[in-house]
Structure 1
Amino acid sequence: MIKKHNELVQKHLKTTVFNAGGCKSYYLDANGRNFAAWPWSLKKLKQRLKQMDLNDYQVTYQTEKTN
């Protein structure tokens, strides 16, 4: 699920000002992958988060370490 989402985001970012033009930016990693920008509107982000189904994910919890 996450891999599919990331591939879709990267595909759509290719044509945006964030990725086009060969500029070096803090939001591009060494491979040119944009880890910070969202290629669609804020409205689209809200819609996607509202429709998020936790059953599509394996949720695990990490216990707090004590020293």
Structure 2
Amino acid sequence: MIDEIIELSKKLISIPSVTPNDMGCQKIINRYLSSIGFVVKKINFNKTNNLYAFHGNNKKKNIYLF
């Protein structure tokens, strides 16, 4: 799994994204997190897209913001 994370990091670093133009980075993050069991939600704040993801059951959730 560490190799997968390193490759994901390299891919994201290679994309010239600057807020609010993420150049597809959030789609990549969304796809990856969804594939490993996270529930991903998109949010828009001041015309800037972001996402948050959570993993866990109703009693205990870990929430991550991107």
Instruction: Tell me whether the two structures share a fold, i.e. TM-score over 0.5.
Output: no
The structure richer in strand per residue is 2
Q: Which has the higher contact order (CA 8 A, sep 6+)?
A: 1
